Structure 1
Amino acid sequence: MLLDTLIHRASLPCPQVGPGQALQLLEQHYGLGGTLQSLGSQQDLNYRVDSDRGRFVLKICRGEYAAIELHAQHAALAHLQAHASVRVPKVISTLAGEQLLSLTVAGQAVHLRLLDYIDGQPLTHLPHLDRGVIEGFGRLCGQMSQALAGFTHAGLARTLQWDPRHALELIRHLLSTLDNVPQRAALERVAVQVEQHLRPLADQLPWQAAHMDITDDNVMWQRDTQQHWQVQGVIDFGDLVHTWRIADLSVTCAALLHHAEGDPFAILPAIQAYHALTPLQPQELQALWPLIVARAAVLVLSSEQQQRLDPDNTYLLKNAEHEWEIFQVALSVPFELMDAAILACVGTSLAPLASEGFAPLLPSLVGREFALIDLGVLSPHFEAGNWETPGIDQHLLQQAAAVHGLAASRYGQYRLSRTLPDCATEPETFALHVELHAPQGTAVQAPFAGTLRSTTDGGLCVHSAELNVRLWGVKPALQPGAAVLKGQVLGEAGGPLRVQLCRVDLEPPLFCTPSRAAAWQALCPSPATLLGLACDAEPELDPDALLARRDASFARSQKHYYVDPPRIERGWRNHLIDMQGRSYLDMLNNVAVLGHGHPRMAQVAARQWSLLNTNSRFHYAAIAEFSERLLALAPDSMDRVFLVNSGTEANDLAIRLAWAYSGGRDMLSVLEAYHGWSVAADAVSTSIADNPQALSSRPDWVHPVTAPNTYRGEFRGPHSAPDYVRSVEHNLAKIAASKRQLAGFICEPVYGNAGGISLPPGYLQQVYALVRARGGVCIADEVQVGYGRMGHFFWGFEEQGVVPDIITMAKGMGNGQPLGAVITRREIAEALEAEGYFFSSSGGSPVSCRIGMAVLDVMDEEKLWENAQVVGGHFKVRLEALIARHPLVGAVHGSGFYLGLELVRDRQTLEPATQETAKLCDRLRELGIFMQPTGDYLNILKIKPPMVTSRRSVDFFVDMLSKVLDEGL
Structure 2
Amino acid sequence: MTDETLARRLELPCPDVTAEEAGEILQSRYGLSGTLSELGSQQDRNYRVDTGEQAYVLKICHMVYETIELEAQNAAMRHLAGIEGAPRVPRVVASTDGQDIIAVVVRDQTYQVRLLEYLEGEGLSGPAHLPGQSVAALGALCANLARSLADFDHPGLDRNLQWDLRRAGPVAVQLLSAITDGAARDRIAKNMVAAVRRVQPFAPALRLQAVHHDVTGDNVVSRRDEKGRLIPDGVIDFGDIIRGWLVGDLAVTCASLLHQADGDPFFVLPAVKAYHEIYPLKEEELRALWPLVVARAVILVASSEQQISIDPENEYVRANLVLEQRIFDTAIAVPFDLMETAILKTAGVELPTVATEHWHPLLPDLDLQNMLYVDLGVESQHFAAGNWGQGDMDWRLLARAASEADAAATRYGEYRLSRSRLLSARPSATYALHADICLAAGSAIAAPFSGRISWQNHHLVLEGADISLHLDGIDPSVEDGAELEAGQAIGAVSGEQGSLGGLRVQLSTLKGTEPPLFCTPAEVFAWSELCPSPAALLGHGVEAPKPVDAEILAVRTAHFAAAQKHYYETPPRIERGWKEHMFDVEGRAYLDMVNNVTILGHGHPRLADAVGEQWLRLNTNSRFHYAAVADLSERLAALAPEGLDTVFLVNSGSEANDLALRLAWAHTGARNMLSLLEAYHGWSVASDAVSTSIADNPRALTTRPDWVHPVAAPNTYRGEFRGPDSTGDYLQSVLAALELIDGSGERLAGFIAEPVYGNAGGIALPDGYLAAVYGQVRARGGVCIADEVQVGYGRLGHHFWGFEQQQVVPDIITVAKGMGNGHPLGAVITTRAIADSLEKEGYFFSSSGGSPVSSVVGITVLDIMADEALQQNAREIGDRLKGRLVALMDHHPLVGAVHGMGLYLGVEFVRDRATLEPATAETAAICARLLDLGVIMQPTGDHLNVLKIKPPLCLTAESADFFVDMLEKVLSEGW
| Cα distance in 2 between the residues matched to 1:602 and 1:3 | 77
8 Å contact from structure 2 (residues 907, 946) kept in 1: yes
Distance change in 2, residues 1:604/1:428 (3 Å)? same
| Cα distance in 2 between the residues matched to 1:477 and 1:875 | 60
Matched with 1:520 is 527
Look up the equivalent residue of 1:305 and give its one-letter code: Q
| Cα distance in 2 between the residues matched to 1:29 and 1:884 | 48
Look up the equivalent residue of 1:433 and give its one-letter code: H
Matched with 2:9 is 9
Matched with 2:705 is 699
Deviation at residue 483 of structure 1 after TM alignment = 3.0
Q: Using the TM superposition, name which of 870-879 and 318-327 deviates more.
A: 870-879
Matched with 1:308 is 309
| Cα distance in 1 between the residues matched to 2:132 and 2:838 | 56
Establish whether residue 934 from structure 1 lines up as the match of residue 935 from structure 2: no
Structure 2 SS opposite 1:201 = helix
Matched with 2:854 is 848
8 Å contact from structure 2 (residues 368, 538) kept in 1: no
8 Å contact from structure 1 (residues 360, 366) kept in 2: no
CA RMSD of aligned residues (A): 1.5
Aligned length: 967
| Cα distance in 1 between the residues matched to 2:430 and 2:166 | 40
| Cα distance in 1 between the residues matched to 2:566 and 2:575 | 14
Matched with 2:298 is 297
Deviation at residue 225 of structure 1 after TM alignment = 5.5
Matched with 2:571 is 565
The correspondence for 1:799, drawn from 805, 815, 834, is 805
Structure 2 SS opposite 1:821 = strand
Deviations 1:136-160 (A, max 9, x none): 1111111111111121122111111
Deviation at residue 414 of structure 1 after TM alignment = 0.4
Matched with 2:474 is 474
Matched with 2:843 is 837
Matched with 1:943 is 949
8 Å contact from structure 1 (residues 710, 717) kept in 2: yes
Establish whether residue 627 from structure 1 lines up as the match of residue 633 from structure 2: yes
Look up the equivalent residue of 1:779 and give its one-letter code: I
Establish whether residue 36 from structure 1 lines up as the match of residue 36 from structure 2: yes
Matched with 2:497 is none
Establish whether residue 663 from structure 1 lines up as the match of residue 669 from structure 2: yes
Matched with 1:582 is 588
| Cα distance in 1 between the residues matched to 2:410 and 2:150 | 52
1:541-620 to 2 correspondence within 5 Å?
541=548, 543-620=549-626
| Cα distance in 2 between the residues matched to 1:20 and 1:870 | 60
| Cα distance in 1 between the residues matched to 2:541 and 2:180 | 55
| Cα distance in 2 between the residues matched to 1:782 and 1:19 | 65
Q: Using the TM superposition, name which of 895-904 and 495-504 deviates more.
A: 895-904
Deviations 1:825-858 (A, max 9, x none): 1111121123222212222122111111111111
Matched with 1:261 is 262
| Cα distance in 2 between the residues matched to 1:377 and 1:641 | 40
Look up the equivalent residue of 1:444 and give its one-letter code: I
Deviations 1:697-729 (A, max 9, x none): 222211111111222222222222122112111
Deviation at residue 532 of structure 1 after TM alignment = 4.5
Q: Using the TM superposition, name which of 882-891 and 207-216 deviates more.
A: 882-891
Structure 2 SS opposite 1:177 = coil
Deviations 1:526-567 (A, max 9, x none): 1221334531111221x3333232222211121111111111
Matched with 1:111 is 112
| Cα distance in 2 between the residues matched to 1:721 and 1:627 | 35
1:954-965 to 2 correspondence within 5 Å?
954-965=960-971
Matched with 2:69 is 69
Matched with 1:277 is 278
| Cα distance in 2 between the residues matched to 1:807 and 1:143 | 63
Deviation at residue 103 of structure 1 after TM alignment = 4.1
Structure 2 SS opposite 1:266 = helix
Distance change in 2, residues 1:52/1:908 (3 Å)? closer
Distance change in 2, residues 1:343/1:608 (3 Å)? same
Establish whether residue 535 from structure 1 lines up as the match of residue 548 from structure 2: no
Matched with 1:78 is 78
Matched with 1:134 is 135
8 Å contact from structure 1 (residues 15, 108) kept in 2: no
Structure 2 SS opposite 1:220 = strand
Distance change in 2, residues 1:440/1:226 (3 Å)? closer
Distance change in 2, residues 1:2/1:290 (3 Å)? farther
Look up the equivalent residue of 1:633 and give its one-letter code: L
| Cα distance in 1 between the residues matched to 2:640 and 2:795 | 15
Deviations 1:480-530 (A, max 9, x none): 233333322222101200011110221011111111111111100012213
Matched with 2:187 is 186
Matched with 1:688 is 694
8 Å contact from structure 1 (residues 466, 504) kept in 2: no
8 Å contact from structure 2 (residues 676, 713) kept in 1: yes
8 Å contact from structure 1 (residues 780, 797) kept in 2: yes
| Cα distance in 2 between the residues matched to 1:546 and 1:68 | 61
The correspondence for 1:908, drawn from 906, 914, 928, is 914
Deviations 1:908-934 (A, max 9, x none): 332222222112111111100000111
Deviation at residue 327 of structure 1 after TM alignment = 0.5
Q: Using the TM superposition, name which of 695-704 and 345-354 deviates more.
A: 345-354
Deviations 1:226-251 (A, max 9, x none): 42323352100011111111111111
Look up the equivalent residue of 2:460 and give its one-letter code: L
| Cα distance in 1 between the residues matched to 2:11 and 2:145 | 29
Look up the equivalent residue of 1:32 and give its one-letter code: L
| Cα distance in 2 between the residues matched to 1:368 and 1:699 | 68
Matched with 2:420 is 419
8 Å contact from structure 1 (residues 119, 232) kept in 2: no
Distance change in 2, residues 1:53/1:96 (3 Å)? farther
| Cα distance in 2 between the residues matched to 1:269 and 1:686 | 42
The correspondence for 1:882, drawn from 874, 881, 888, is 888
| Cα distance in 2 between the residues matched to 1:124 and 1:470 | 42
Look up the equivalent residue of 2:56 and give its one-letter code: F
Matched with 2:498 is none
Structure 2 SS opposite 1:289 = helix
Which runs of 5 or more structure 2 residues have no equivalent in the other structure? 495-500
| Cα distance in 2 between the residues matched to 1:731 and 1:738 | 11
Matched with 2:486 is 486
| Cα distance in 1 between the residues matched to 2:21 and 2:540 | 79
Matched with 2:831 is 825
1:338-349 to 2 correspondence within 5 Å?
338-349=339-350
Matched with 2:772 is 766
| Cα distance in 1 between the residues matched to 2:255 and 2:130 | 14
Look up the equivalent residue of 1:518 and give its one-letter code: F
Establish whether residue 776 from structure 1 lines up as the match of residue 782 from structure 2: yes
| Cα distance in 2 between the residues matched to 1:699 and 1:89 | 59
Matched with 2:455 is 454
Q: Using the TM superposition, name which of 434-443 and 884-893 deviates more.
A: 884-893
8 Å contact from structure 1 (residues 901, 940) kept in 2: yes
8 Å contact from structure 2 (residues 762, 906) kept in 1: yes
Structure 2 SS opposite 1:403 = coil
8 Å contact from structure 2 (residues 638, 645) kept in 1: no
Matched with 2:376 is 375
Q: Using the TM superposition, name which of 343-352 and 319-328 deviates more.
A: 343-352
Which runs of 5 or more structure 1 residues have no equivalent in the other structure? none
Deviations 1:269-295 (A, max 9, x none): 111111122222111110110010000
8 Å contact from structure 1 (residues 118, 232) kept in 2: no
Matched with 1:160 is 161
Look up the equivalent residue of 2:462 and give its one-letter code: V
| Cα distance in 2 between the residues matched to 1:922 and 1:82 | 39
| Cα distance in 1 between the residues matched to 2:891 and 2:51 | 37
Establish whether residue 144 from structure 1 lines up as the match of residue 145 from structure 2: yes
Matched with 1:748 is 754
Deviation at residue 224 of structure 1 after TM alignment = 4.7
Structure 1 SS opposite 2:750 = strand
Deviations 1:96-133 (A, max 9, x none): 22211134433223211111011122232211111111
